[in-house]
Structure 1
Amino acid sequence: MSPSNDTEPVELTILMPCLNEAETLEVCIRKAQGFLARTGISGEVLVSDNGSTDGSQKIATDLGARVSDAPRRGYGAALINGIETARGRYVIMADADDSYDFEHLEPFVERLRAGADLVMGNRFAGGIAPGAMPPLHKYLGNPVLSAIGQLFFRPGVRDFHCGLRGFNRERMLELHLQTTGMEFASEMVVKSSLARYRIEEVPTTLKKDGRSRPPHLRSWHDGWRHLRFLLIFAPRWLFVYPGLVAFFLGAIAVGILSFGGVEVAGVGFDVTTMVYASALCVIGYQSLLFFWLTKLYATQEGFLPTSARYRSVVASWSAERGLLIGVGLFLIGVVIGVVQVLRWGSLDFGPQDASAVVRIAIPSALGIMLGFQTIMMSFFSGVLTTPRRVVSADAVIES
């Protein structure tokens, strides 16, 4: 059971984020306390309250649970507050809506004691009671987002968004989790995976919650926020892979059609195709530049970890080298354009074959555009990588 001294460390904190959960909070606390009493684990029940107005705080304190007020609204904000104020070496978190099983947390504790940094519950392996999860979430939202998360980050879990999970508190604090909304659930798994934490999964059950009001979760809105977060933290999938495909398809098509039209399976491709292929090439190249700038910014600010290969690339890269590459591409485009003008002059600037003109103009314009984009990117990357001193928030306030 929880010791009487509120400052004494314990082995386990059972953390419940709470926003107006008066209907179900009592039963959740009693189940959690029953688990601690039955197993003899030194622990506490901590309610991180997110501004409840239904008396949830009093219910928790009357039952002997500890209440910590989360000053900022949001699911993630409540959990961050709870993690920071928890006294346990390990933390097991779950919603206070009586949908998760607080009475049988032994598998989580066993995995944590064995050295796991993060232990995820798997509702699909443990069982989902009828009506516990909307069909949209059960058959589309969770499977799709879990598959995308597994593809992008390889955490080794099949239920990416299970709300019942346990973790080593100190290891989780090292990740400096930031998101204050529903994206927090994804951030925890993503950053743990990127940091090469030991992540394990245990079956758990999900039953229909005991609330009479609708849940805080908004299916499409919060689903999109989770997907957006996964994409932002996987810049290779967001920028690099689509960008490489678009760039090389466009560049190859422009290169081939520069020598004349071609016919494939009875379908002719000529200068019109070149126009669209050049646009595809520019889009792909721009996507690659966005990846480089995003990666630079994210690693500078600590959002993304840096690999040894990335650090070696950054060490060998400079804004000046980028400028030289950009100027080179720009000049190639200009030279092609000048050659075309000279050829036009040899015809006394008279009428020309439209297809022949466009066939030369497109590579010229492409070189000019790619060169200019590279020059601008190089200047911007120079801004991001300029050494600067770190000014503390206290110093800014004092000034």
Structure 2
Amino acid sequence: MIPPAEIELSIVMPCLNEAETLAVCIDKAQGYLQRSGVVGEVLIADNGSTDGSQQIAVDHGARVVGVEEKGYGNALMGGIVAAHGTYVIMGDADDSYDFSKLDPFIERLRAGDELVMGNRFRGGIAPGAMPPLHKYLGNPVLSTVGRVLFRSDIRDFHCGLRGFNRESILGLGLITTGMEFASEVVVKSTLSGLKISEVPTTLDKDGRSRPPHLRSWRDGWRHLRFLMLFSPRWLFLIPGLVAFFVGLLGTVALSFGPLVFGAVGLDVSSQVYLAALTVVGWQAVLFALLTKLYARHEGFYLPRSQAFERFAERATLESGALIGLGLVLVGIVIGIVQVVAWGSAGFGAQDPVDTMRLAVPAALALMLGAQTIMASLFLGILSVDVRRA
């Protein structure tokens, strides 16, 4: 029995009914530790197996940790927390990854890298090991989205074989419970500035006779949703700004009269839709800003910039409420002007088109002002200092 303090590497495998392949994975991992001289352990994070996987693991010299909370992320976090090693290498227990060839990971970890990702596209994918949908669409698309949104150099975001410094990863505050855990590790490591590298690894066809736990469309969407939610700039801010300015400019332009572009004419009916686009865009912008301000307040890892930090220092309940009040006053003034003009005409019948041409901008200003005031009140709630346990 190796004293926990002397263990350098923990090889962690999540397990849910992997009796067919678990033994060969453990034997490969144990063989690597013996051949390389690395002082380590093989740890099985069992997520409620009912096929005898636990006993198989014990019989082949692994340590078993039971994780009651279901889910890939839960199983892995349970294993990582229970691991004794300075470094952890995690991989699926389906015999698709070769645990006898971990030298590249150990070399980079000993060199100071805090997260070392395997890259299956560089190392080689055996025929039939990865469905075409994953190989040519799912993994390339999701990895590209991750690289663009988070300025990451990782080209295989979802490789299941990866190594990391245990304390560095535990310090990230990982919270996802399912398959999106794979994305969360890379995203939060990138945003927190950990030293990350990538090494080639191979992917073989798994040795199970049953279907994998992975569900292509469901889990792919969960990965994409996670990536987008951790980047409010691309999900809300930029689309919101585009919608806001297109709608606002169109609404203001139509206040002076109809617009004609070739055979297409725009008038007050178009102005109503453009005003609605402005409101939706402004709501998206406010949501993006509030999301980032909340993340900043709570210490979450989200991308930050100097411009946003300057904005955050100035964003207060009072400043936002004043802007919102100003917009409300603009709407009220336009409304008063319309009422005065109506009164000067004896409060008689009005041209509905001319009336709408000014009523729409007035209503728009009132709505934008109300949205801004309410967002500022919510910001005031977020900024209340509380004592934390």
- 5 Å matches for 1:173-184? 173-184=170-181
Question: Separation in 2 of the partners of 1:7 and 1:40?
Answer: 16
Question: Percent identity at matched positions?
Answer: 62
1:46 aligns with 2:57: no
Question: Separation in 1 of the partners of 2:190 and 2:220?
Answer: 20
Quickly say closer, same or farther: Cα 1:236–1:306, change in 2 above 3 A.
closer
Aligned residue pair count: 388
Partner-residue secondary structure (3-state), 2:93: coil
1:257 aligns with 2:261: no
Contact 1:232 1:238 in 2 (8 A): yes
Pick one of 305, 327, 330 that aligns with 2:328: 330
Partner of 1:10: 7
**Counterpart AA for 1:368:** L
Partner of 1:123: 120
1:97 aligns with 2:94: yes
Partner of 1:397: none
Give 1:82 deviation, angstroms.
1.0
Contact 2:13 2:43 in 1 (8 A): yes
Give 1:19 deviation, angstroms.
0.7
Partner of 1:60: 57
- 5 Å matches for 1:109-188? 109-188=106-185
**Counterpart AA for 1:223:** G
Partner of 2:376: 378
- 5 Å matches for 1:70-109? 70-109=67-106
Partner of 1:301: 298
Contact 1:247 1:285 in 2 (8 A): yes
Contact 1:9 1:89 in 2 (8 A): no
Partner of 1:202: 199
Q: Which moved more, 1:103-112 or 1:308-317?
A: 308-317
**Counterpart AA for 1:275:** V
Partner of 1:396: none
Contact 1:299 1:306 in 2 (8 A): no
Contact 2:294 2:382 in 1 (8 A): yes
Give 1:12 deviation, angstroms.
1.1
Question: Separation in 1 of the partners of 2:141 and 2:3?
Answer: 42
Q: What does the per-residue CA deviation read over 1:53-107, in whole Å, with 9 as the maximum and x for residues that have no partner?
A: 1111111111111111113111101111111111111111100000011111111
Unaligned runs of 5+ in 1: 393-399
Give 1:304 deviation, angstroms.
2.6
Q: What does the per-residue CA deviation read over 1:315-374, in whole Å, with 9 as the maximum and x for residues that have no partner?
A: 322101111111110110111011111111122122222221111011100000000001
**Counterpart AA for 1:375:** I
Question: Separation in 2 of the partners of 1:60 and 1:136?
Answer: 33
Question: Separation in 1 of the partners of 2:62 and 2:222?
Answer: 32
Question: Separation in 1 of the partners of 2:2 and 2:34?
Answer: 17
Unaligned runs of 5+ in 2: none
Partner of 1:342: 340
Question: Separation in 2 of the partners of 1:317 and 1:267?
Answer: 42
- 5 Å matches for 1:229-378? 229-305=226-302, 307=304, 309=306, 310-378=308-376
Q: RMSD over aligned Cα, in angstroms?
A: 1.4
